[in-house]
Amino acid sequence: MRRVAPLLVFSLLILACAKTETAQSDSAAMTMAPAALTDVDFAGTWKGNAMIEGSDSVFAHWTQVCAAGTCSGTSEESKDTVMSTYRIDADSSIGVTPPFVDPAIGTQVVDHWVARVSNGRVTGTGRIVLADRPDSVVMRYRFEGSRTAP
């Protein structure tokens, strides 16, 4: 009991000196947080352009048809259809393709992207890596587009 008594007195002293104020909520911070995306926000047909990071040069005119965690993507620059999967995380969707042969690069690559949707518009960034060397970034890009159908 003698060993516990000093700890008990110290604990009571800390409690007695503690402030009893209640933290006020920061309503400005709460109203600025974007609403979480749902699949309804992301599902549909989207068309847009992709530009190499740091440039306004368009390298792809794309179309994506998305729903329930998958997208089917085509571009005017290639006849191939590339599938991707995505998950929704707060205000963004995060997607990745399985390995596919990019005709411009001539080898298998994997495309990783993050998209944000607001008011029928989509913007985002991505990176393309070699399929057999996932730490090698072949290209970074940004994209923008709009919904053409729900």
pLDDT tens for each residue of 51-105: 999 999 999 999 999 999 999 999 999 889 999 999 999 999 999 999 999 888 8
b (16+ CB within 10 A) / e for 101-137? ebeeeeeebbbbbebbbeeeebebebebbbbeeeeee
pLDDT in tens, 19-62: 444 455 555 555 566 678 899 999 999 999 999 999 999 999 99
pLDDT in tens, 106-140: 999 999 999 999 999 999 999 999 999 999 999 99
Amino acid, single-letter form, for residue 121: R
Structural domains of the chain, with CATH: 39-149 (2.40.128.20)
Give the H/E segment covering residue 75. Answer: strand 70-75
